């Protein structure tokens, strides 16, 4: 996902949140688990995840999150440009909490982020944040 665009859209729609960015799928999992170089596990309220990530695909990251008892309760929103039926089905089969297609226009993307904020933060009752233990020795 375009990080700059996402930051701007979140700011524009008043979604006041701490945004933690991973450069690739492998880094995202290390961040969530608190593995080197991250000092502490990241405990997000929700994860925005693109299918197209380097090192590990978004599908691989999703699968690992949903198979990990410490992480599986974190809502994962797939946010991608793909409308392919196979991608949508695969992500829901891997227990994505929602699948959103990124619009091309900034105003439409901002409106989408407003909807994410309104539903996932304003209306949905989220599970308690997990107490994540680092897998460091």
By 3-state DSSP, what share of the chain in percent is helix, strand and coil, each rounded to 5?
A: 40, 10, 50
User: Residue 136: its pLDDT value, please?
Assistant: 47
User: Residue 132: its pLDDT value, please?
Assistant: 58
User: Residue 64: its pLDDT value, please?
Assistant: 97
Q: How far apart are the first and last CA of the chain?
A: 33
pLDDT tens digits, the chain, 137 residues: what are they?
478 888 898 888 888 888 888 989 999 999 999 888 888 888 888 999 999 999 999 999 999 999 999 899 999 999 999 999 999 999 999 999 999 999 999 999 999 999 999 999 889 998 887 665 555 44
Q: Global pTM?
A: 0.87
User: Residue 31: its pLDDT value, please?
Assistant: 92
User: Residue 134: its pLDDT value, please?
Assistant: 52
Question: Helix H segments across the chain?
Answer: 3-12, 25-33, 58-67, 85-93, 106-116
Q: How far apart are CA 79 and CA 77, in angstroms?
A: 6
Those residues whose C-beta lies under 8 Å from the C-beta of residue 97, and which sit 6 or more positions away, are 46, 75, 76, 77
User: Residue 2: its pLDDT value, please?
Assistant: 79
Question: Can you say whether residue 37 is alpha, beta or left, with left for phi > 0 and alpha for psi between -120 and 50 degrees?
Answer: alpha
Please name each of the domains of the chain with its CATH number: 3-121 (3.40.50.2300)
């Amino acid at each position: 996902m375009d990080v700059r665009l996402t930051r701007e859209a979140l700011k524009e729609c008043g979604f006041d949140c701490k945004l933690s960015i991973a450069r690739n799928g492998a880094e995202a999992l290390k961040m969530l688990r608190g593995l080197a170089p991250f000092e502490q596990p990241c405990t997000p309220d929700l994860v925005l995840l693109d299918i197209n990530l380097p090192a590990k695909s978004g599908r691989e990251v999703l699968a690992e999150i949903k198979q990990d008892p410490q992480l599986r309760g974190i809502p994962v929103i797939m946010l991608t440009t793909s409308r392919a039926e196979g991608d949508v089905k695969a992500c829901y089969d891997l227990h994505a909490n929602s699948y959103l297609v990124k619009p091309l226009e900034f105003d439409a993307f901002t409106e989408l982020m407003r909807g994410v904020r309104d539903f996932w933060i304003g209306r949905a009752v989220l599970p308690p944040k997990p107490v994540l233990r680092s897998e460091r020795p």
